Amino acid sequence: MNFMSVSADAESNFTIGAEQNGEGRARNALLDRVMAPNWRKKSSNALRRGYMPSRGLALVARNEFGSLIGTIRLWDVASENGKHGLLLGPLAVDDASKSSGVGSALMKAAISKATELGHGAILLVGDAAYYERFGFSAGLTQQLSMPGPYEQDRFLGLELKKDALAGAAGVLVPTGRKLIANQHKNKLVG
C-alpha cells in the first residue's frame, strides 16, 4: 500500500501506510501504553499468536514527524465449517492523538485494503458503539464463536462481499502464515 496523507482537521496531519519491518518495537510500546494490561491474554490473541498478519494488512498511522501514533492488523481465520475471513485487531491510537480521526482512518484504510485484496468478511471483538459506524454488527456472528472467553454482543462482523458470512458456524481457527523463530524474537506478535 502506498502511503496516503490524511488530514482529519486543520490541526492534525497524519499518514496511513503499511507497517514496516523494524516498527514492531514502537508498535508494541504503543499497545502497552494504550491497551488494557491483559490484552495479550484475550481470546483474539489466541488466533494471532504464532502467526503473521494477513498479507498487506498490517497498517500504521504516523504523525507529521514520522512517529507511530496508531496501529491496526488483520489476521487470516476460518470458521470451523471452512468459511474464510479476517480477524481485526488490535486497533489502537496513542492517547495524544485520540479523537482526531486516526482510528477511523485506520479502519477505513484496512476495510478498503481488505476489499481490494478480495477478502469476504472481517470479524472482531470490540465495542459495538465504536465499530457500528463502519458497518459492523453482532447479527452476523450469531453462529460463530471465539476460542476462549469473550462477550457475544462484542463479537462483530462485516461482510465485504454479499453473504460472505452466510452459513459460517463454529469456533474460529487461525489460517495465516506461521511466524518463524527469529520473528518471534522480534516480538512481531499480537
Ligand X SMILES: CC(C)(COP(=O)(O)OP(=O)(O)OC[C@H]1O[C@@H](n2cnc3c(N)ncnc32)[C@H](O)[C@@H]1OP(=O)(O)O)[C@@H](O)C(=O)NCCC(=O)NCCS
- Binding residues (CB under 6 A) for ligand X: these are 34-35, 91-93, 98-104, 126-127, 129-130
Instruction: Please answer whether residues 52 and 177 qualify as being in contact, where contact means their C-beta atoms are separated by less than 8 angstroms.
Output: yes
Q: Which is nearer to ligand X, 45 or 175 (CB)?
A: 45
Find out whether the peptide bond into 53 is cis, omega within 30 degrees of 0.
Answer: no
Question: How near is the Cβ of 42 to ligand X at its closest, in Å?
Answer: 11
Q: Which is nearer to ligand X, 61 or 83 (CB)?
A: 61
Question: How near is the Cβ of 122 to ligand X at its closest, in Å?
Answer: 14
Helix (H, G, I), strand (E, B) or coil at 15: strand
Q: Which is nearer to ligand X, 69 or 172 (CB)?
A: 69
**Per-residue CA distances from 136 to 133, 152, 187 (Å):** 7, 14, 30
Largest CA distance in the chain: 48
Question: How near is the Cβ of 129 to ligand X at its closest, in Å?
Answer: 4
Q: Which is nearer to ligand X, 7 or 175 (CB)?
A: 7
Q: Which is nearer to ligand X, 18 or 39 (CB)?
A: 39
Q: Taking CB positions, which residue lies at the least distance from ligand X?
A: 103
- As a dihedral over the C-alpha atoms of residue 113, residue 115, residue 121, residue 127, rounded to 10 degrees, the angle is 50
Question: How near is the Cβ of 127 to ligand X at its closest, in Å?
Answer: 4
Question: How near is the Cβ of 96 to ligand X at its closest, in Å?
Answer: 11
Place of cell 482537521: 9
Instruction: Please answer whether residues 122 and 74 qualify as being in contact, where contact means their C-beta atoms are separated by less than 8 angstroms.
Output: yes
